[in-house]
Structure formats: C-alpha cells, structure tokens
Amino acid sequence: MGKCFSCLKVPPPAHQHHQHHHHSSLHHQLPPRPDNDRPREVSESGSSVSGVEGRSPVPPPDTQSNGSGKNSIVIGGSEKRLFCTRIPPLTKSGNEVRRPPSKEYSEAKIAVLFDHYKDQHCDYILSEGIERLCMDLDVKPEEFKVLVLAWKFGAETMCRFSRGEFYSGCKALRVDSVKGIQSKFPEMLLEVQDPEKFKDLYRFTFKFGLDAEAGQRILPSDMAVLLWKLVFSQREPSILKRWLTFLERHPNIRGIPRDTWNMFLNFIEAVGDDLGSYDDTEAWPSLFDDFVEHENDQLNQNITKDHKEESE
C-alpha cells in the first residue's frame, strides 16, 4: 500500500510526567468543555477514563490506539475519511488478492531477436535465417520441435516467419531470447500429447506444407510423405509405413487433398492394427479404398505364395 501503518503513529511527548494531582485539580486547570466534546484521557494502566467520576471507561469510536496503551490519538470524522482515501482499493477473488501478471518478456528484445535473423531485403525470416535460428536453438530444421514451434507461432508457410508471427509467437510463449525459446520446448512437447492439441497441430501441418505464393491447395505427394513422417515422429501409427510405401509405389498419386489429409487421422484411429475392420461402405476417401484393396491383395499373394512353397 506504499506506507506501513507505523507511519500513522504519533510520537510521544518529549517530557512525559506522571500525574500526581487530584482529580479535582485537573478540573481546575482545564476550562470547562461540553461532555460530548471532551477528549478521553489515558491512565497509567493503559485504560481510557472519561474524566467524569462514575462513568464507565468506554473509549469513543474515534479513538485509535497504537497498541502500547500509552499513546492514543483522537481522529475526527473528516480525518478518518481522509485516512481511508489514502488506502488503495484491493480487488479480491475469493480470499486471494488478484495481482496483474508479471511481464516476463521485453518487446524491444523480441524486435532485436527478429532483426538478427531476418532477411536483408524483406521483413521476413527466410530459409537462411531459419537455419541460423535452428542452429542457435540446437535443433535441426526437420525436427518435430521446429514443427511445433512453427505451430505455436502460427506460421502461414514453411521456411518463413513474418514479423507479426514471430512477435505474437514469442509473446504467447512469454520469451524474448534464444534461451527462452529453448526452455519452452519441453512444455510445448507435453502440450501436443493432448489429443485435441495434436489434432490441431496435425491439421496445421497440411497448410504449413503448402506453397502459399504459388497458390497450392493440394499437397504434393512427396511433401505429404515427408510431413506424415514428421508429424507422427513422436507417436507412429502401426499402418503408417505401409501407407507411405503404398504412396511411394504409386507415382500416379500426385497430390493429397486437405480432406484426405484430415481424414487419415480418423482412418488410423478406426482401423488400428487390423485393416480387416475397414468398412468400405462408409464415406472414406477413395484413396483409402485403394490402399486397403492393395494391402488385401498383398496379403492374399503372400498366403498363396506360402501355400505354394509348402506344397513343394
């Protein structure tokens, strides 16, 4: 509150004498005052007396004590109101005082950090700057951590950070330095273990892989394969390798639409380890039908081959 309550104490008089005079002599020294206007006296024992015999020593409501029992002051109504106005109001939530969150980052430092990595000819951090940033962060550009960082920064496209993306990302993480970003990696990796957060990261990855300047709306198959490996690098589905092998062996599949990308996450959850549970009557993308048919053909060929070898 700026000042402690000790500031409100009145210092004791320089010379304080014991009162030896009789009560009547006190009346002789002081001019008569109305009863309701007389200040209370403090006895040696620390209790208040009214100065009038026979009355109970009840202190008036305006009397404030310093706790020692020897120095009491009288505060009038106007003074009490003035004192109360000196105390700033406290906003409480329950039994706790709500305090504004401390600002753990500096916007000026974020600006310096961005300018250190940005391209000389435009207001973006491009591939060269991204590589230098990754080197300073002690990570590789193709690591899962970098994908999660781009997700947290809301990057529109791969190998590029705009000033706005970089600023908002650092503010969201509450960091303004390379070491600060490094310290947040464990927290970010823990965050995407949540199924809903991972789903958001997974859908972000499709848009992240598109070439926005070229106006791409379908992810090239080779890029999709790389991004599927990356986004599932921490938790790989059992059918992922067979799926990627299928795509690599069919060069006629040139691109992956957004719906197919998004539905693949539902597909791996539905089929699990056993493609026999796949229901082709449901509204799956036709590419999934082709994949399951291909896998069944491979399985039948292997069974036929095994029977042939056994008969020989």
**Domain with 185 in it: what CATH number?**
1.10.238.10
Please indicate, yes or no, if residue 304 is contained in any of the structural domains. Answer: no
Task: State residue 115's pLDDT score.
Answer: 97
Together in a domain, 156 and 177: yes
Task: State residue 77's pLDDT score.
Answer: 52
Number of domains in the chain: 3
Together in a domain, 278 and 252: yes
Please indicate, yes or no, if residue 310 is contained in any of the structural domains. Answer: no
Together in a domain, 231 and 162: no
Output 280 or 27, whichever has higher pLDDT: 280
- Give the list of residues 6+ apart from residue 234 with CB closer than 8 angstroms, or none: 144, 189, 192
pLDDT at 75 over 70: no
**What would the mean pLDDT of 57-73 be, rounded to a whole number?**
49
Together in a domain, 269 and 218: yes
CATH number at residue 286: 1.10.238.200
Please indicate, yes or no, if residue 166 is contained in any of the structural domains. Answer: yes
**Among candidates 107, 104, 192, which has minimal Cα distance to 151?**
192
Q: Cβ(220)–Cβ(255) under 8 Å?
A: yes
**What would the mean pLDDT of 126-145 be, rounded to a whole number?**
96
**What would the mean pLDDT of 275-284 be, rounded to a whole number?**
87
Together in a domain, 198 and 175: no
Together in a domain, 281 and 241: yes
Together in a domain, 209 and 264: yes
Task: State residue 274's pLDDT score.
Answer: 78
Please indicate, yes or no, if residue 9 is contained in any of the structural domains. Answer: no
Please indicate, yes or no, if residue 145 is contained in any of the structural domains. Answer: yes
Together in a domain, 249 and 212: yes
Q: What angle do CA 17, 22, 28 make, to 5 degrees?
A: 95
CB-CB neighbours of 72 under 10 Å = 19
**What would the mean pLDDT of 223-243 be, rounded to a whole number?**
95
pLDDT for 264-278, tens place per residue? 999 999 887 778 889
Together in a domain, 261 and 173: no
pLDDT at 309 over 70: no
pLDDT at 20 over 50: no
Confidence band for 10, pLDDT divided at 50, 70 and 90: very low
Please indicate, yes or no, if residue 2 is contained in any of the structural domains. Answer: no
Please indicate, yes or no, if residue 176 is contained in any of the structural domains. Answer: yes
Question: pTM, whole model, 2 decimals?
Answer: 0.65
What's 102-133 look like in SS3?
Answer: CCCCCHHHHHHHHHHHCCCCCCEECHHHHHHH
Which residue, of 190, 211, 242, is where some domain finishes? 190
pLDDT for 188-211, tens place per residue? 999 999 999 999 999 999 999 999
Together in a domain, 80 and 117: no
**Among candidates 284, 162, 149, 243, which has minimal Cα distance to 204?**
149
Together in a domain, 197 and 269: yes
Q: How far apart are CA 155 and CA 307, in angstroms?
A: 54
**What is the span of the domain harbouring residue 221?**
192-292
When the pLDDT of each residue in the chain is averaged and rounded to a whole number, the result is: 77
Together in a domain, 225 and 282: yes
Please indicate, yes or no, if residue 100 is contained in any of the structural domains. Answer: no
